[in-house]
Structure 1
Amino acid sequence: MRGARKYRHVIETPEPGKWELAGYEANLPITEKSNPITKEIDRADPAQIVQLLKECDAEIFQEEDDAIINYKRLYSESVLTAMADVAKKVQEVIKDPEDSLIVLSGCGTSGRLAFLLANSFNKLLKGLYRKPCYSYIIAGGDRTLVMSQESHEDNPLLGVEEINKVCEGKRRVVFIGISCGLSAPFVAGQLDFCMNNMDIFTPALVGLNPVNMARNDNVDGWNLTFRQVAERMQKLHEMRKAFILNPAVGPEGITGSSRMKGGSAAKIILETLLLAAHKATSNNTEVTEAYLLEILRTYERVHKITYAQSKKIAAVVKQAGTSLQKQGHIYYLGWQNLGVMGIMDATECTPTFGADFCDVRAFIGNGYKDLDNTEGDLTDLGLQYAVSHEDFLKNVLPSVTENDTVILIFTLDDDVKEVEKIVQQVKENTSHFYAISHATAGQYIPTSVKKLFPSLISITWPILFAEYEGFFLQKFQRQLCTKWILNAVSTGAHILKGKIYSNYMVDLKVGNSKLFNRALYILQKFTGRSQSKCLEVLLKSIYNTDNLTDEITDAEISKHIEIAAHMNKVVPTAVVALSRNCSIKEARNRLDCFPIIREAIEAILSSPGRKRSAHQIDVATAD
């Protein structure tokens, strides 16, 4: 039975899940546990996939339940208090921005979120004729905004170098480090630096694991672990000198894929507290819990409004999956900040699903002019960095075929005639084009545009607040709605392509130490072999050899990752080699007999001689 609820909710959240019970995958942090809701998502049809992801996303808004493990949740008093405390520190900078800065930093999805938020709130300040005071840091620099650069996450010293650059000459900095799993050394290095310079910095950590579940692995070239940094922050948090915002929101729908629920929850938390700070400043009042709750409830409404479109979302998922199955592509064409959401989703498919960068690609109106990133136009780095609509029309559209799916993402405040013009060109190459359209109450999509699309996900938003901040809240709501839809489309498409087994990303790119450890765990779970044996075969798969030299076995993990980042099917190959006790060459040959990764793994794991199903195998410690 669910415990008594403290707050009235807009949506119905799921009952407490198995993952909350003591002993459920006890050796894993929440963000790396598998979610019982989606344990058979690999067998689901498009409508079921969308429904399962809807249930997972609803867990963000669950309250804590005294009847089971007492994890802090989004609505827990301690979390709301910490959000208010950080908002008050932000408010101080907004009021007196001279030589002051609010810095958001992260890696991968978290870094892209930091970029999005810093730009959005600077625009809010400019609209009020206030001095912009936000900056962002993303591991790997601006190229990571449009192309995955996973390895930079592992370098805490690089994180320190970047924070020094951005904050040089500042007398006061509110630093917000985002790491959903409390795991990124890049962010840990920055938080440690802040705590060593408290005369200037007020550090805050945003993540989704308890501190005792923060990553505790040794970091190459550093003398601390993330957990040690977080534990030090916890002591300062108790004195209100540093702050940790880490509600539990449940495991991801696809195990460990923090681009999904993790990114959404971090977005909700940060936008809520930052908007509350701005609203309180405009009204010349204090930040209150009532401010925070008012904004959080609007995000619950976003969940309700988004998934009211489930049937139409499922239709797009089905077609996107068909495109990938036929070796086709998915293209997002977005306008303004919704174009950024497309870029975020597309970029994250490479490390998550082992996808090629061209499998899912995104383009934004005027390219880097609309992206408004610090380093400016990156097109000279290569075609994969060409992200404008003009780049799509010139470089990509000529090769688009009936096997491809194109999704246009816009609001009725954008240039709808331009949307119409692009659709007319796209439809000459493929009939599979869709739209995600956002309007405010009183706006209506032109009939000429509506008739162009075989399927249109059209969402109308109510006018929320009269204040200027309310306009930005609606922008953030549209972003979150678009994020949930695109996450469902790209995830569902890759599920239908066979890139997921149970709810595990079995063909992930081993691009950093977190993904290396995740790959190792997946091997243990599905083969029942010891960690040492799984490590041995994982290295054999990475180096494509059956003979591991001392040079390989003695190398640091960073070396293995450097090689693995350029290899395909590392984890599936290792699963086959471990399950069949065969060579790496034979394992790759067996995989080649199956065009679909999931089918290959299922055939291997269910073959004669295997006594236990993959889901019954506990992680072993010895053979």
Structure 2
Amino acid sequence: MKNLEERGHLLTEQINPNSQNLDQLSSLELVDLFNREDAQTLVAIASARTELAQAINTTASALSQGGRLFYIGAGTSGRLGVLDAAECPPTFCTPPDLVQGIIAGGAGALIRSSEDLEDKDEDGANAIAQRHITNLDVVVGISAGGTTPFVHGAIQSARGRGATTILIACVPAEQVSIEADLDIRLIVGPEVLAGSTRLKAGTVTKMALNIISTGVMVQLGKVYGNRMVDVAVTNKKLRDRALRMLQDLTDLNREDASYLLEQSGRSVKLALLMHWTGLEREQSASLLAEHHGNLRAAVSSYQKQE
């Protein structure tokens, strides 16, 4: 492997032959070019399907045993990790510390460039130490070019603490290798704008994180069918979504669905269990807890007892 400071050989830094006349294209031609190039993200995800499935299984197992999921990266990669982590509480009603995003430079780096803060591997190691990461946790290092010292330091530190480590990068392993328990390579080729990994690399990384976090939450029982039954009802939009779910999955009109939602403490999952079993809120909560929050398993268990 070449020195991490020498990045010209990386696939993410190379010149895309399809866009060498980018500054001469009309707006429509530019849009068409992007569309053609972005199609490679789908191919990359398909090529990594086995590794993505392993990431889901490994992470779900860890979280079910009391572990946490951490995304760690710098620049665009870090922002994508923070974004995915931030979406988990409202979507799946998870506690804020269950899925966490760590970005080089901290919160300020989310809104202003701080790429100079990615160059110290000890900062990545310190971030792991500050969160008291243990062998129960999963740490996903995200680095489009695979060379980010901040991510290297974090993964090495996490491995030393016994955590499960996963790498997501957009360059072949022969260009940059990192010791991790699971190595996910999303190969999308050179960017339309040379070296701008916020483009295809960023898009395919977002797709991968969508798949991993959603798959994990499905396995943890946060989903019924394709409904986000653990949604946190915190505003008008989410309350409307909750009511529509209750109406769609039951024979209730909106008024009765609203009453049931309030009786359940604004928990769609609990409301459905109460409706389908006839149990009171406390009994339903107890039954759900017995099945680790899995609504389908709780309903099935109740039906077998009848």
Q: TM-score, normalised by structure 2?
A: 0.80
Is 1:353 the counterpart of 2:92 in the alignment? yes
Is 1:490 the counterpart of 2:221 in the alignment? no
Alpha-carbon distance, 1:603 to partner: 2.3
Is 1:426 the counterpart of 2:158 in the alignment? yes
Distance 1:603 1:360 in 2: 29
State the match for 2:175 in structure 1. Answer: 444
Distance 1:510 1:336 in 2: 32
State the match for 1:529 in structure 2. Answer: 252
Task: Give the counterpart of 2:128 among 377, 386, 393.
Answer: 393
Alpha-carbon distance, 1:592 to partner: 2.8
Task: Answer yes or no: is the 8 Å Cα contact 2:125–2:157 preserved in 1.
Answer: no
Greater relative contact order (CA < 8 Å, ≥ 6 in sequence): 2
Task: Answer yes or no: is the 8 Å Cα contact 1:408–1:434 preserved in 2.
Answer: yes
Distance 1:525 1:442 in 2: 47
Question: Cα distance 1:607–1:521, how it changes in 2: closer, same or farther (>3 A)?
Answer: farther
Distance 1:414 1:372 in 2: 23
Q: Runs of 4+ in structure 1 displaced over 6 angstroms?
A: none
Task: Answer yes or no: is the 8 Å Cα contact 2:230–2:269 preserved in 1.
Answer: yes
Alpha-carbon distance, 1:501 to partner: 1.1
Is 1:407 the counterpart of 2:140 in the alignment? yes
Task: Answer yes or no: is the 8 Å Cα contact 1:324–1:494 preserved in 2.
Answer: no
Q: Deviations over 1:493-533 (max 9, x none)?
A: 11111111111111111122121111112222333233222
Distance 1:442 1:525 in 2: 47
Question: Cα distance 1:442–1:353, how it changes in 2: closer, same or farther (>3 A)?
Answer: closer
Q: Secondary structure at the match of 1:505?
A: coil
Which has the greater radius of gyration? 1
How many residue pairs were aligned?
Answer: 279
Task: Answer yes or no: is the 8 Å Cα contact 2:222–2:293 preserved in 1.
Answer: yes
Task: Give the counterpart of 2:227 among 471, 489, 504.
Answer: 504
Task: Answer yes or no: is the 8 Å Cα contact 2:137–2:164 preserved in 1.
Answer: yes
State the match for 1:435 in structure 2. Answer: 167
Identity of aligned residues (%): 20
Q: Deviations over 1:436-490 (max 9, x none)?
A: 1223x898114xx3xx22221124443355xxx3443x53111111111111111
Task: Answer yes or no: is the 8 Å Cα contact 1:366–1:389 preserved in 2.
Answer: no
Aligned AA (1:588):
A
Task: Give the counterpart of 2:284 among 587, 595, 599.
Answer: 587
Task: Give the counterpart of 1:576 among 267, 273, 276.
Answer: 273
Task: Answer yes or no: is the 8 Å Cα contact 2:243–2:254 preserved in 1.
Answer: yes
Q: TM-score, normalised by structure 1?
A: 0.41
Alpha-carbon distance, 1:590 to partner: 2.8
State the match for 2:102 in structure 1. Answer: 363
Moved more, 455-464 or 485-494: 455-464
Q: Secondary structure at the match of 1:578?
A: helix
Name the Cα RMSD after superposition: 2.9
Aligned ranges 1:191-590 → 2 under 5 Å: 282-283=23-24, 286-288=26-28, 290-373=29-112, 389=124, 392-396=127-131, 398=132, 400-412=133-145, 414-416=147-149, 418-439=150-171, 444-446=175-177, 449=178, 452-465=179-192, 469-472=193-196, 474-542=197-265, 570-590=267-287
Task: Answer yes or no: is the 8 Å Cα contact 1:405–1:430 preserved in 2.
Answer: no
Task: Answer yes or no: is the 8 Å Cα contact 1:328–1:403 preserved in 2.
Answer: yes
Q: Secondary structure at the match of 2:199?
A: helix
State the match for 1:603 in structure 2. Answer: 300
Alpha-carbon distance, 1:317 to partner: 0.8
Distance 2:199 2:31 in 1: 15
Alpha-carbon distance, 1:608 to partner: 7.6
Distance 1:444 1:506 in 2: 43
Alpha-carbon distance, 1:409 to partner: 0.6
Distance 1:596 1:583 in 2: 16
Question: Cα distance 1:461–1:600, how it changes in 2: closer, same or farther (>3 A)?
Answer: closer
Alpha-carbon distance, 1:599 to partner: 3.8
Q: Secondary structure at the match of 1:456?
A: strand
Alpha-carbon distance, 1:392 to partner: 2.9
State the match for 1:208 in structure 2. Answer: none
